[in-house]
Amino acid sequence: MQYETISVTQPDNGISLITVNRPKKLNALNKNTINELHEAFKTAEGNPEVKVIILTGVGEKAFVAGADISEFANYNQVQGEELAAKGQRLLFDFIENLSKPVIAAINGFALGGGLELAMASHFRIASATAKMGLPEVSLGLIPGYGGTQRLAQLVGKGLAIEMITTASMIDAQKALDSGLVNHVVPTDQLLETAKSIAGKITKNSPVAISAALKAINANYQKTTNGYDVEIKAFGACFATQDFKEGTSAFLEKRKANFSGQ
């Protein structure tokens, strides 16, 4: 599929790279970008050759420097609610609930919807020059793509409230110290590091990884008992070919060759 605002690589050793490609707009999200990202993630989800997805922005200035404000500056209350609801359903919640791990490689500014996009990913790696924040209150708004929820889950309520109410940015080291990102690396090592970690993931059972992601996410769903989801997912693993292969390989002292079945 041809895209206008993103680029997607063919799977390489099980890893697919999705890049937001709007450099003149610092990779800001607009409706078309959100739709194209949805299609790209949906395609990757359905491609058995893809084991891990890395998400980044083109260039070194920005991962995604927010949303394209010009698209919604004249919206009313109903349109604003629809904008948030559709965006969350189509992209942010969609990414969070993918069965394949998504690594956000933050290569510069991740602001507003950009930080929300990174937080919807399963974990984050930042370049040393990255800056992150949710500045929406400076526009008379609040984060609308899950930012008020995911930021507090990741860094704690106090820091989340401070970041959101002051509209302040934090640097990569602060993001690392607070748990917002897993790793901070030099800019020229960002994708290399992301691919190295992704490579470790590809060696493991896709079925088990999918079950683990589902169980972990269940802990953050108020109407779901995460322990019950874990128990059922754990039991379901015993019926898979990957379980048989993994245990056989362990007992036979060889590397497992997982089929994803």
Enzyme catalytic residues: 116, 136
User: Two tokens at 28?
Assistant: 């800001």
User: Two tokens at 62?
Assistant: 């920005």
Write down the residue that tokens 């009313």 correspond to. 76
- For 68-77, b where at least 16 C-beta lie within 10 A, e where not — what string? beeebeeeee
Query: Are the CB atoms for 26 and 68 separated by under 8 Å?
Result: no
- φ/ψ of 230, rounded to 5, equals -60, -45
Q: In the beta sheet, which residues pair with residue 7?
A: 19
User: Can you say whether the dihedral through the CA atoms of 214, 220, 221, 226 is positive or negative?
Assistant: positive
Angle of helix 206-218 versus helix 226-237 axis, rounded to 10: 170
